[in-house]
């Protein structure tokens, strides 16, 4: 064999596998960086509600309320107390024996710096009208909030990453019983979805107790689906032993592929 032939054989093309892996790593890192920037940008917005003037008030079906934004680490003490009390009233039943431990977790979550709120307040004149009608009927008004605008509910949401997808995660949507069944919950979820889209999030996600059948039906009606990340879809046997499902509504193909289809 000639030296020229041997040299030619020694110069066979190297495998492109190493270069492909390097390129994939680069793409993954770039995507991760882009997602982190989206989350930082969304968190930096002081008041997401301000971007949607049409959602500042809700005056339908016999209730008149206005919305305002808040941050978890800036909640006044009366607001903290209200949130804790409403959570207990609405969720102690669905959680059952799990509630004592869940309540402790939720109390920590509610005041975290990353917690964002939409607060629902009833106009003071509406409350005062209620007070007057009660007094006319010989009933003493015991609602201390009747002296001013008072809360009827709230949404607690955060910007997080789920399965490499930036999402708005709704930690809580809680309304007083008098404000339920009037379209207000749907109105609030529409607002959350607009905030998610405006912030370029891929989806809205939330967790629902299986025993909370009204909430399960509510989100189904709003076209939320059980996510591929929910225990019942990760592993059927594991899902049977869990008390909750994870729901999602996606806004773009990649989020749908990951969070709905599980690919």
Domain ranges of the chain: 18-260
Per-residue model confidence as pLDDT tens digits over 74-102: 999 999 999 999 999 999 999 999 999 99
This prediction's pTM: 0.83
* Topology (CATH) of 18-260: Aminopeptidase (3.40.630)
**Interatomic CA distance for residues 99 and 106, integer angstroms:** 10
- The confidence score (pLDDT) of residue 149 equals 75
Write out the two tokens for 111.
């005041």
Kind plus residue range of the DSSP H or E element containing 27: helix 17-44
* Residue from 157, 218, 209, 207 nearest 185 by CA: 218
- The confidence score (pLDDT) of residue 13 equals 55
Q: Which residues pair with 191 in a beta bridge?
A: none
Q: Which residues pair with 245 in a beta bridge?
A: 208
Name which of 38-52, 90-104, 115-129 the model is least confident about.
115-129
Output Rg (C-alpha) for the chain, integer angstroms.
25
Confidence of residue 14 (pLDDT cuts 50, 70, 90): low
Checking if the pLDDT of 8 tops 70, the result is no
């Amino acid at each position: 064999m000639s030296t020229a032939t041997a040299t030619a054989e020694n110069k066979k093309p190297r495998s492109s596998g190493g270069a492909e892996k390097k390129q994939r790593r680069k793409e993954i890192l770039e995507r991760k960086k882009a997602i982190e920037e989206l989350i930082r940008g969304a968190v930096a917005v002081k008041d997401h509600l301000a971007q949607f003037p049409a959602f500042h008030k809700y005056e339908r079906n016999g209730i008149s309320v206005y919305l305002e934004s808040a941050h978890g680490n800036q909640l006044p003490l009366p607001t903290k107390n209200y949130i804790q009390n409403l959570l207990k009233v609405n969720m102690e039943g669905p959680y059952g024996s799990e509630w004592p431990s869940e309540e402790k977790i939720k109390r920590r979550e509610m005041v975290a710096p990353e917690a964002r709120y939409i607060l629902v307040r009833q106009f003071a004149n509406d409350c005062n009208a209620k007070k007057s009608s009660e007094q006319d009927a010989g009933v003493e008004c015991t609602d201390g909030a009747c002296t001013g605008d008072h809360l009827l509910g709230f949404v607690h949401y955060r910007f997080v990453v789920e399965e490499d997808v930036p999402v708005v995660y709704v930690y809580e949507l809680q309304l007083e019983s008098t404000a339920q069944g009037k379209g207000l919950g749907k109105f609030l979820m529409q607002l959350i979805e607009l905030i998610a889209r405006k912030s370029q999030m891929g989806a809205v996600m939330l967790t629902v107790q299986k025993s909370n059948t009204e909430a399960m039906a509510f989100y189904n009606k709003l076209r939320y689906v059980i996510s591929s990340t929910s225990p019942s879809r990760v592993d059927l046997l594991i899902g049977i032993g869990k008390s909750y499902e994870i729901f999602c509504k996606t806004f773009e193909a990649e989020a749908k592929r990951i969070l709905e289809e599980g690919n």
